[in-house]
Structure 1
Amino acid sequence: MTPAPRRSAPAKAKSTIPQVSWRSPQPAPLVLVSGPEEVCAERAIAGIRSMLKSEDPSLEVTDIRADDYAAGTLLSVTSPSLFGEPRLVRVSGVEKCTDTFLTEAVSYLAHPQDGATVVLRHTGASVRGKKLLDGIRAGQGNGIEIACPAVKRDSDRFDFAVGEFKAAHKRIAPVALRSLVSAFADDLTELAAACQQLISDVPGDIDERTVERYYGGRVETSAFTVADTAIAGQYGPALLALRHALASGADPVPLVAAVAMKLRTMARVAGTRESSSVLAQRLGMKDWQVDRARRDLVGWTGNTLGMAIHATARADAEVKGASRDPVFALERMITIIATRAPYGG
């Protein structure tokens, strides 16, 4: 029996409505906040509320769950009241909306209520509500879209952090920015909170010492200190940094991951002759990351870099259970990298 062909997800309809940045949101009769990045979505929705509230303090704010929806609610909360106050309706869970909500929301596109701003939050986790989204993107309801795509790559996280400080008219040194982003590489919510804390607490420019004072206890920050000193060939300081990190409670796994990430970047950049900007664009990196990798490569050869990568791969397996002594595995890795010679050689 021939298996049925797999159905692919429907393609996203081409949008004809204005695309607005989540950093500079604006009200509209209908606002589609799309994409999985909750930090950006929350900022956009909060920004719309602040703008409407500043225009008219009598703003009525209503929250609706599209996945737990009572018939008639949307029309009821968007209809003008006796005194005609402006209305903001925030709808969550559109990606898992009920049939009733979908029917009423599609009908609402044809007759949006005067004085009402309806914000629809769709994470993109499913194609549920596609008919509604396609209608909005086709221009029905006089709407706008605020896209909040996932922030996954290192370069995207750097862009996010840069935007935080730029929006606050705050200067942060590049090395401090790198340390900060590295310290919160796995959680954009925590990175956003850290940026805002520095912005609010530090009166002047932010340097590496400031970031170290606030967040030096983060495992990833210690990990990159170990990686930097080892790759620079500073054997003694690298071992001291490793032991300090372990004594502070650092997990061996992210320590190896930090070294591996730097070595991978060096390997990608090694032997290239393109300008930093061209190479960065091709590799999905930042110019300064390319420049840093090229500085790190000074004194390295193809053979020593390959040996370091092999040692790191071995340490990665050992700290994940292949060895009973992860500390020895780490020390051997650091020794090979910092001395650029075989262990015991």
Structure 2
Amino acid sequence: MPPARRSTRSTARPGLSWDVVEPAPVVLVRGTEGLLADRAMARLVGLARERATAESTTLEVTRLEASMYEQGRLAVLASPSLFAEPRYVEILGLESLNDACATDVTAYLADPAPDVVLVLRHAGGQKGKKLLEAIAATGAPEVACEPVPEREKAAFVQAEFARGRRRIAPAAVTALVDAVGSDLRELAAACSQLIEDTTGQVGQDDVDRYYGGRVEATGFKVADAAIAGDAGQALALARHAMASGTDPVPLVAAVALKLRTMAKVAASRGREQGNATAGLAPWQIDRARKELQGWTPEGLAAAVSAVAAADAEIKGEGRSPGYAIERALLRVAAARAGR
């Protein structure tokens, strides 16, 4: 396995994406986003197996839990094998490692064994910080597995379809993110289903056909209707969502999120965007600009106040969450119409 023979310093590329990392003597997979970490580790073991097969050898794969690690175990696994077969070792859960694991891995970093790929998984937190610093000091490749921000969910969807050699319309991307974008695993699964079950370019009709019920049951459709000034549609969707078991809190949160985005974009008018639109993706800015048509600064301020009041009532200051959200939606829709 040629890459396993190179120095960890010569392969140093911190912050790698899961889809470009290559097997190396030591690889750190770090971050709280489990989907990206799972993909990184599946890629690493897959590539290691391919290379072993190409060399007509068998890859020995071992997985260990850092919290249950036994002293000396890594040294045994990395010791030269009788037939010089390549070995692949994963140590999972470094965020819960015991002292024996910390000691052995730290010592191993000084002299990684040839023909061994050691993959270390840390899912976040402060425990194991010294070991993480020691790994970074060797220059070992690190795969970044942090949560994907909302502003980057659209790019994630586009990348999923590009890997599947399929195209998806911009409107369909937005609809899909609105429907299932809160959880990256669900979003990836939705992309996979659309790629497998449809043909040609995926459009908004395809997304609505597969996930329309979910879209209507979320606050995004409710928010769209209220901000467009369509009070009747907003109330109908909100009532349907609550009747289907949706908690009022995320409904209000969705309206509040849209209004905050609109306020940021409105604040950037007439000057460079600068900090006003920091954290927003270009598509979010373009969408907010369209949604701001028909709104005045006074109306926007009134809508924000109405939603803030509803949020407080729903979270304990009022007796009827359903009434609170319906009143807020009426006020938001009226604020756009200037009534």
CA 1:79–1:205 in 2, change beyond 3 Å: closer, same or farther?
A: farther
CA 1:273–1:82 in 2, change beyond 3 Å: closer, same or farther?
A: same
Are 1:149 and 2:136 matched, yes or no?
Answer: no
Whole-angstrom CA distance in 1 between matches of 2:187 and 2:313: 30
2:50 maps to: 54
Match runs of 1:1-345 below 5 Å: 17-19=12-14, 20-57=16-53, 58-130=58-130, 132-139=131-138, 143-151=140-148, 153-218=149-214, 222-273=218-269, 282-340=277-335
- Residues 142-164 of structure 1 deviation map (CA, whole Å, 9 limit, x = unaligned): x311122233x311333333332
Whole-angstrom CA distance in 2 between matches of 1:179 and 1:279: 28
Deviation, structure 1 residue 279: 5.2
Task: Indicate if the aligned counterparts of 1:216 and 1:222 stay in contact, CA closer than 8 A.
Answer: no
SS of the aligned residue for 1:90 comes to: strand
Deviation, structure 1 residue 82: 2.4
Deviation, structure 1 residue 286: 0.8
2:4 maps to: none
Task: Indicate if the aligned counterparts of 2:166 and 2:201 stay in contact, CA closer than 8 A.
Answer: yes
2:3 maps to: none
Residue type of the alignment partner of 1:187: D
Q: TM-score, normalised by structure 1?
A: 0.84
Whole-angstrom CA distance in 2 between matches of 1:253 and 1:341: 22
Task: Indicate if the aligned counterparts of 1:253 and 1:319 stay in contact, CA closer than 8 A.
Answer: yes
CA 1:31–1:330 in 2, change beyond 3 Å: closer, same or farther?
A: same
CA 1:106–1:287 in 2, change beyond 3 Å: closer, same or farther?
A: same
Residue type of the alignment partner of 1:293: A
Deviation, structure 1 residue 137: 2.0
After TM superposition, the structure 1 stretch with the greater mean CA deviation from structure 2, 214-223 or 225-234, is 214-223
Deviation, structure 1 residue 328: 2.4
After TM superposition, the structure 1 stretch with the greater mean CA deviation from structure 2, 307-316 or 183-192, is 183-192
Number of residues of Structure 1 aligned to a counterpart in Structure 2: 325
CA 1:231–1:299 in 2, change beyond 3 Å: closer, same or farther?
A: same
After TM superposition, the structure 1 stretch with the greater mean CA deviation from structure 2, 283-292 or 198-207, is 198-207
Deviation, structure 1 residue 220: 7.3
After TM superposition, the structure 1 stretch with the greater mean CA deviation from structure 2, 178-187 or 27-36, is 178-187
SS of the aligned residue for 1:226 comes to: helix
Task: Indicate if the aligned counterparts of 1:94 and 1:129 stay in contact, CA closer than 8 A.
Answer: no
Task: Indicate if the aligned counterparts of 1:233 and 1:337 stay in contact, CA closer than 8 A.
Answer: yes
Task: Indicate if the aligned counterparts of 1:171 and 1:206 stay in contact, CA closer than 8 A.
Answer: yes
Structure 2: where are the runs of 5+ without partners? 1-10
Task: Indicate if the aligned counterparts of 1:235 and 1:338 stay in contact, CA closer than 8 A.
Answer: yes
Task: Indicate if the aligned counterparts of 1:219 and 1:245 stay in contact, CA closer than 8 A.
Answer: no
SS of the aligned residue for 1:124 comes to: coil
Structure 1: where are the runs of 5+ without partners? 1-15
- Residues 70-119 of structure 1 deviation map (CA, whole Å, 9 limit, x = unaligned): 12211222233323322110111222322222222122122222111000
Whole-angstrom CA distance in 2 between matches of 1:115 and 1:189: 33
Q: TM-score, normalised by structure 2?
A: 0.86
Identity across the alignment (%): 46
- Residues 13-38 of structure 1 deviation map (CA, whole Å, 9 limit, x = unaligned): xxx92122112221101101122222
SS of the aligned residue for 1:62 comes to: strand
Whole-angstrom CA distance in 2 between matches of 1:46 and 1:219: 32
SS of the aligned residue for 1:67 comes to: helix
Task: Indicate if the aligned counterparts of 1:22 and 1:41 stay in contact, CA closer than 8 A.
Answer: yes
After TM superposition, the structure 1 stretch with the greater mean CA deviation from structure 2, 96-105 or 266-275, is 266-275
Deviation, structure 1 residue 187: 2.3
Whole-angstrom CA distance in 1 between matches of 2:288 and 2:59: 52
Whole-angstrom CA distance in 2 between matches of 1:148 and 1:257: 26
If each structure's helix is expressed as a fraction of its own residues, which one has the higher value? Answer: 2
